[in-house]
Every structure is written in C-alpha cells, then in structure tokens.
Amino acid sequence: MENGRLKTWLVVMTLALFGLNFTPVMAQVMEIEVIGGGYRLQGPDVIQFPNLTAALEAQKSTRDIRELDAQNEESAETDHAKDYLYISDMNGGNAFNVSVSSTDLEDAIIHKTIPKTNFYIRNKNGTGADIVAVSPGQPGLEGVALNAETNDFTSLGSERILFSGGGQEPGSWKIFPVFKIEIPENTNPGTYVSTLTFTII
C-alpha cells in the first residue's frame, strides 16, 4: 500500500489447442487503482430533549440517540438513519479515534447559560448491541472498541473519546450514545442550545 493506494493486478491468459500444435500464450495485464477514501462520520442534525417546566430544584433530562428516529420522521428514508452515529474507515492501516466536544448551553434571547460541565454523554444504554458492524465481509468488531471511560455518564466539560479503531482493515460501524443534561435549580425559562462537535482522526 502506498499513500492509501492499492494496486490490483488482473492477468488474463488464453491457451488454445489445435491438434498437436500449441498456440502462443497471450497475457494481457490490466491495472486498477483503488484510491483511499478517508474517514466518514454521520449522525443526527439535531438532538432535542423533552421540554421541562422551570422549577426551584435541580432537574435532569436524558435523550437516547436511538429515540431520535421518531423525532426525525424522514430519517428512515435516508442512507443512514439519524438514530445512531455512523463511523466509516475507508482506508484501513491507521488507528483512529472518534471524539466529542460541546459548547455551553445558551439561550440566545435571555443570554443565560447552563455550563457544558452539566452536559453528559454515555456510550451504553443497555438496549441492544453497543457497537454494530455495518459492512458485510468487513472485519466486524475486531480491533474496535468504545472508550470504557464513557461507559457511564461523563461530563462534556472537556473533549471525550467515544470510539477507537485499530485500523487493521476498512470497515463501518454504528454506535448509540446517550445524552444527559443536569439543569441547575432556579434556571430561567428559555430554549438552551449547545453545539456538539464529533471528530474522527
């Protein structure tokens, strides 16, 4: 493999017999280059939590990514539904990580925030497989793993690694994170929005 390029050689040979005479063997070499495609990462465009009523005490709200298909009704008709995070390594050969970071949750109208330290992520939800291999004939789950540090809810106060791949061969996978917000007591009513950034490198 050279610079992510794989050369495949196809040799076509013909041999025919005529009585006791052999025709010359003809060999034609055909070459094709398979150029590396890099990484691919897809997921939901919006993760919306259920509405809560303002309260004097602290509250918690969770959202499982597997629940988002109902929220995004058209997602089932797209190539990759929006109720999981889709990861693809189209090259193989190099280890990689998928990480996530967050901004503070802010209401743009009243200019109040909920700090990102109150925003949490977890890799496991206890429903179905935690990782699903997508591509048939690919290496499956060999050499890939969820980050054990996010087996339970972990604050997004700093960037977190969710998934690691050994890069042995190309492959594609789905993972299913769960999100949680801890809303402090006496939080002003409003619509609080954060930006989640998933990175594969």
Contact present, 181 and 80 (Cβ < 8 Å): no
- Check: CB of residue 75 under 8 Å from CB of residue 69: yes
- What are the pLDDT digits (tens) for 64-100? 998 886 544 544 444 445 789 999 998 888 999 999 9
- Whether 11 and 87 map to the same domain: the answer is no
Q: pLDDT tens-digit profile of 127-145? A: 778 999 987 666 678 889 9
Regarding whether 19 and 80 lie in a shared domain, the answer is no
Check pLDDT > 50 for residue 16: no
Distance CA(95)–CA(100), nearest Å, equals: 17
3-state SS, 24-88, equals CCEEEEEEEEEECCCEEEECCCCCCCCCCCCCCCCEEEEEEHHHHHHHCHHHHHCCCCCCCEEEE
Q: How far apart are CA 122 and CA 161, in angstroms?
A: 11
The domain tally of the chain equals 2
Same domain for 147 and 172, yes or no, is: yes
Does 16 lie in the same domain as 112? no
Residues 61 and 30 in one domain: no
Distance CA 86, CA 17 (A): 55
Q: Do 76 and 103 fall within a single domain?
A: yes
- Examine the domain organization and report whether 21 and 48 are in the same domain: no
Same domain, 190 and 101: yes
Q: Do 110 and 42 reside in the same domain of the chain?
A: yes
Nearest CA to 131 among 175, 195, 184, 177?
Answer: 175
Range(s) of the domain holding residue 126: 38-200
- Residue 102's pLDDT is what? 93
